[in-house]
Structure 1
Amino acid sequence: MYVCLCHGVTERQIVAAIDSGVDCMKQLRRDLGIATECGRCASCASDCLKQTLASRNSAEGGAK
């Protein structure tokens, strides 16, 4: 699903960025251009970031 139409950023690209170490909106903004034009994607991108990080953290916690 497209999250940022202005820059053509998809949810998969956000997840890939998280896999590469991104862990905050500031880094998504810097690396992918999220919320640097119209800003309508900020909420959706933030939700995607939080959900992905939470699922990764719970998966890591369960593996210990």
Structure 2
Amino acid sequence: MIICVCRRVSDREIARHARAGMSFDEIQFELGVATQCGRCEGCARDVAAQCSAAHPVAALQLADPSLERATWTASFPASAAA
């Protein structure tokens, strides 16, 4: 998914650099993410933090954990859930 539209930087690129041990500032310098309009900075920082070398397995979290159950059940037809 594209995180930074201005520089066309994807979450995969950010994650790859974070897993390599780069800090957000280093990723920002290397990829140019969040250097133009700045709207993506929060999301880019979240991806970098979740995929940092200190956290080898990303633990992606929903902003509202109560949505997890609703999202899961809504993605399947009623006949498959029964």
TM value normalised by structure 1: 0.75
Please, which runs of 5 or more residues in structure 2 have no aligned partner? 59-82
> 2:28 — aligned with what?
29
> 1:11 — aligned with what?
11
User: Which protein has the bigger helix share?
Assistant: 1
> 1:51 — aligned with what?
50
Higher-Rg member (1/2): 2
Please, which runs of 5 or more residues in structure 1 have no aligned partner? 59-64
Which amino acid in 2 is paired with 1:52? C
Structure 1 ranges of 4+ moved more than 3 A? none
Figure out how many residues of one structure are paired with residues of the other and give that number: 57
State the 1:57 CA deviation: 7.2
Q: Percent identity?
A: 35
Q: Encode CA deviations 1:19-64: one digit per residue, 9 max, x unaligned.
A: 3331x22111100001110000100000001111253179xxxxxx
Between the aligned partners of 2:18 and 2:49, the Cα distance in structure 1 is: 10
TM value normalised by structure 2: 0.61
RMSD: 2.0
